Amino acid sequence: MPNSGTQSFTGEDLLCIRGERAVFAGLEFAVASGDALILSGPNGSGKSSLLRVMAGLLMPARGLLRRDGQPVTDDPEAHHTSLHYVGHLDAVKPVLSVAENLEFWAALKGDASHVASALETFDLQGLSDMSARLLSSGQRRRLNLARIAANPAPLWLLDEPAVGLDTASAAALTELIAAHRAQGGIAIVSTHTDLGINDAETLQLDDFALAAAA
């Protein structure tokens, strides 16, 4: 069972400083297997920063992230192996074909056998031999999202995943997240639009901005 790896993912007393300003302080969260957490808040409230902190790209100024009780800093490579992070940038190489792009990331995560089905999930199978230079921005986004369908990983960190997606692709994403949770996966999503994710908890980031100002 690929997604049985993580039972819980928690953050304690997280403080994030960008420039000279505390973006959020004293932030706590706890998600367990099968949960979804929606990050919401106005622009600049630290949704992207929090997701980068969770992924381990950004070091929190204070606080600790734990997976199954173990601090993630104990074994960052294991943490990286078992998560998918989708940021604002699409990580698509224009000189490679659509399939080559996805194959590279899938193989790097250890298994490139589901590339074809992942492309199908986001309706890219017809474009697989096309140069990625010719993709529209929405198609590039879909190719980036296809990464999460190509390899199982128990923790998904998605930063505004629906930006630029058409309705059919947004529905495919919602379905994918639901299937991921049904298998015991965790999804943490920042979004301004309602993706239709069922019984998700919401973390309001501006609550913690107030704590930072005080």
Residues in touch with other proteins (CB under 8 A): 55-59, 77, 80-81, 83, 85, 87-93, 95-96, 100, 104-105, 107-110
* Cα distances (Å, whole numbers) of residue 168 to 51, 86, 112, 165: 25, 19, 25, 8
User: Least Å distance between CB 203 and other proteins?
Assistant: 22
User: Least Å distance between CB 115 and other proteins?
Assistant: 14
Closest CA to 79 of 178, 174, 11, 28: 11
Report H helices in the chain. 47-55, 76-81, 98-108, 115-121, 137-150, 167-182, 206-213
Nearer Cβ to other proteins, position 81 or 204? 81
DSSP 124-156: -GGGTTSBGGG--HHHHHHHHHHHHHHS--SEE
Q: Decide: 128 and 119 in contact? Cβ < 8 Å.
A: yes
User: Least Å distance between CB 61 and other proteins?
Assistant: 11
Q: Decide: 173 and 9 in contact? Cβ < 8 Å.
A: no
User: Least Å distance between CB 100 and other proteins?
Assistant: 8
Report the alpha-carbon distance of residue 3 to residue 6 in Å, rounded: 7
User: Least Å distance between CB 199 and other proteins?
Assistant: 28
Nearer Cβ to other proteins, position 65 or 200? 65
User: Least Å distance between CB 83 and other proteins?
Assistant: 7
Nearer Cβ to other proteins, position 58 or 197? 58
Nearer Cβ to other proteins, position 83 or 176? 83
* Residues composing the chain: 214
Nearer Cβ to other proteins, position 63 or 87? 87
Nearer Cβ to other proteins, position 34 or 164? 164
